[in-house]
Amino acid sequence: MLNPHRIREDFPILRREIEGKPLIYFDNAATSQKPIQVIEAVRRFYEEHNANVHRGVHTLSQEASELYERAHEEVAEFIGAEGIEEIIFTKNATEAINLVAYSLCLRGLGPGDEVVLTLMDHHSNIVPWENVSRVKGFKVKYADINDEGVLDYEGLENLVTKRTKLVCVAHVSNVTGVKNDLRRISKIAHDNGAMVVVDGAQSVPHMPIDVERLGIDFLAFSGHKMLAPTGIGVLYGRQDILRDMEPFLGGGEMIREVRYNKSDGTCRITYNELPWKFEAGTPNVGGAVGLMEAVRYLRGLGMEDVERHESELTNYALKRLDGVDGIKWYGPGPGSERGGIVSFNMDGLDPHDLALLLDQFGIMVRSGFHCAEPLHQRLGLRGSVRASFYIYNLKEEVDKLIEALEEIRKG
């Protein structure tokens, strides 16, 4: 079993105090803290190996290139991809989804086509498709959710037709923690000839992922939510699809050859092989090294144990919240399939005000719409406070949250 008390020793920031109280970090859905192993790996890269990749024959460039390629390999293994050809490094999950949206639209998606999203999606899986639809003329449709935030699968099945080219969903809601059944969604999509794009920002860091078993076509996730530095993200894509896609960023590294044609005064461009075809310009090599170390750290813990630990914390938190007057939480109840996220409100208090009051107790939570305004609108909410858990969080910290809420409630 995972031992969060021992894990905490690897995270220097957790030794901080806020307002004279021990730091309790419950904002992991926004970004996770970083273990010393990741911090040291990035430091070693810049002290010992820093150079541009795939550009030079000198020793440092060769070392940096080897580390960068190894990072792709270890990420591929972490999510069950076939190889590095299916792993594209981006800045974050948002850029990864934009890459899919714009690249696919360069050679398709036009009037008469449809893209299906859900009302639980993060803005990063809504805005790119809405933006591109205005240029290309395809239609964006939204599957509904019920009052617990659970996806309406029958409604989704009715929305997906032979006109549907893509079904884009979050694996885990960043507000309610609801886990979507990706295998069921993939079957609905594939039976109609559509591809599946998954926002895995709240799932890849927290549970075992096997893209082959899930039957999905694309998976986007961010390193900074899984112990890695900011500025490094991942797009997984099936090789057969990526080979036919046009890169939407052009420049150095993503090309194999650029030849000037004197006869017509143009340049003929030949794209690089996968995955470099989609990684234009100088990449975040230090971030990739940090991501590789983060993957090693999580694999050492065991993703099954990571998921189990968060599930126990979530169920414990939901039960404890039930005992606080004036608190209403959202999503399925204890024992259901949900991630380590609990969003709630207190009667008579604005979510931001409640978050500020909790900060005085040293408790870091999120407040607002969490970049999921349509979901809040569907549930009739003007925002919420979100506590989200990770490998270093403790039941004792949940108890401190409950004590703080009870004290705030008393005024």
Looking at the annotation, which residues are catalytic?
Answer: 371
CA distances from 174 to 49, 178, 226, 257 (A): 37, 8, 14, 42
Task: Please report which helix (H) or strand (E) contains residue 332, including its range.
Answer: none
Q: Which residues contact 66 (CB under 8 A, 6 or more apart)?
A: none
Buried b (16+ CB within 10 A) or exposed e, 360-378: ebbbbbbbbbbbbebbbeb
HSE value, Cβ hemisphere, 13 Å, CA-based, for 105: 23
CA 112 to chain centre: 30
HSE value, Cβ hemisphere, 13 Å, CA-based, for 137: 4
Beta bridge partners of 166: 115, 195
Q: Please give the Cα distance from 114 to 192 (Å, whole number).
A: 12
Contact 213, 80 (CB under 8 A): yes
Q: Which residues contact 410 (CB under 8 A, 6 or more apart)?
A: none
Q: Between vectors from CA 149 to CA 144 and to CA 152, what angle results, nearest 5°?
A: 35
Fill in the DSSP letter of residue 122: -
Fill in the DSSP letter of residue 49: I
Q: Please give the Cα distance from 343 to 363 (Å, whole number).
A: 15
CA distances from 338 to 25, 170, 360 (A): 20, 13, 29
Q: Which two tokens stand for residue 255?
A: 């090309």
